[in-house]
Structure 1
Amino acid sequence: MRAGYRRKILVVLVMTVVAVVTGPFGTFFDLTILERAYYWPVALVFITVPMIALTELTLYRLPGNLHPILRIAIGAFIAGPIGATALLVLDTMVRHAEFTPYNLGFRWVFVTLIGFGVGVFEGYLRPMYHAAPEPQPDADKTTSKPAEPEPPLFVRNLEPELGTELISITTQDHYLDVVTSNGAGRILKRMSDALAELNGYPGMQIHRSHWVALHAVERVEKDGRKCQVVLKNGTTLPVSRPNVPVLTEALEKR
């Protein structure tokens, strides 16, 4: 299981425990602790699952010219009615609430705001923090080592433990399989958006489904009209014919 999903599950579990104990939104007085012990797990599952799915979908699938926060807001707004309906149905069964447009709308706003806040933190602020470059020492304090280049914007999509040294990126349906020197991970993103975020990282798209870092290429193999690269980690990837001379030139200059 990816670390990102493990973290999301942990967050939902913590929220559930806190909600059961504290009884927010009147549930402390309306329900006993045993009733809250099944009310909040059910409510949070129906709220968080569609919210996470839709905010991630809109964040990575809507046009890149829309600000990420706006994309998250659209996903939270779309997911709001799903969680709101589930919450109101649960309230009619447990808390004797009435199924009215007002009650549905109130919960829609509540679910959307909560989902938007969590989505901004998880999908925008936290990745930016992990992608931020380490502060460089002052020039007058040390001259022994040149400053490390700033990592590309693309690495903010990766889990911190994967590092910033890219090896290859491969499309897999709507996902990208990303390999680094520390391991591999899968993210929901288009190859075109990934290329735009690589910010001049020394590599190239060798095939419509594959991008490689130049430093990771061990050799180029040709078999008739077919061509492929062998990476230093042993992976073999195809090279489309128009990219063969471009790749050859790039490898000579690295």
Structure 2
Amino acid sequence: MLLLAGIIGFMGPFGTYMRDGLPGRIGHWWLLLMGAYILVRPVIWLLRRLALRIDLSVSITVFSGVSLCVVPLAFLWRNVGRTAFRDLDGFTGLLPFSFLCALTVLVVTHWAEQTDRRLAQRGILPPPADAPRPEGAAATSPAEPALRHRLSAGFAGPILALQSEDHYVRVHGAGGSELLLMRLRDAIAEMEGVAGAQVHRSWWIAHRAILRCDPAGRSWLITLDGGLSVPVARDSVARLQRAGFLPAS
């Protein structure tokens, strides 16, 4: 935040370059940006866990909550930076600026988390907290995919399917599902050694999990063990038929 405050302070937007020296402008903008971070960052953390608990879309929930932070953030800045508040023509100019700053905190937070995960995959950093390795993982059968090590010890049964949900992947098992913060293609890569296929842009399924396949218009609907229904993309039908995932037409 100090680096960003230094850049903004050097630029001196909204007429601040005429009012204070560079150190004063940097300090002024640092206070405003830290106010945004202190307010928005905990909201992101809380809303993510709320969305996961009640099975809502994580991206929509977090974005909506961050958008609502704009009003208290504007009031905070009004009290901390009264001069800047006047320069922005009151709430008319301050609310859009507050929204941009709150959105910046959200984007930077997401970028930092994704960077940590990429570094963890390369072994530079330890795995993130929401991708725990269960106790006894070192003794796990080598036949199990690497993705299994990211799941909790309470995850029941083999992995049946992977479902993309915003920036998360829902891992379906025989006894329930768990969410992991990662891309679907990365999760599929960690299923190496398990016979399966991506049947839709949002779905990967294990071949052994297929219970039945039913026609659905010009496509198919695959039912897995446990009753989970998975759609098949039309442009994937021929490929899946050749691979033996779907019956021939």
TM-score (norm 2): 0.47
TM-score (norm 1): 0.47
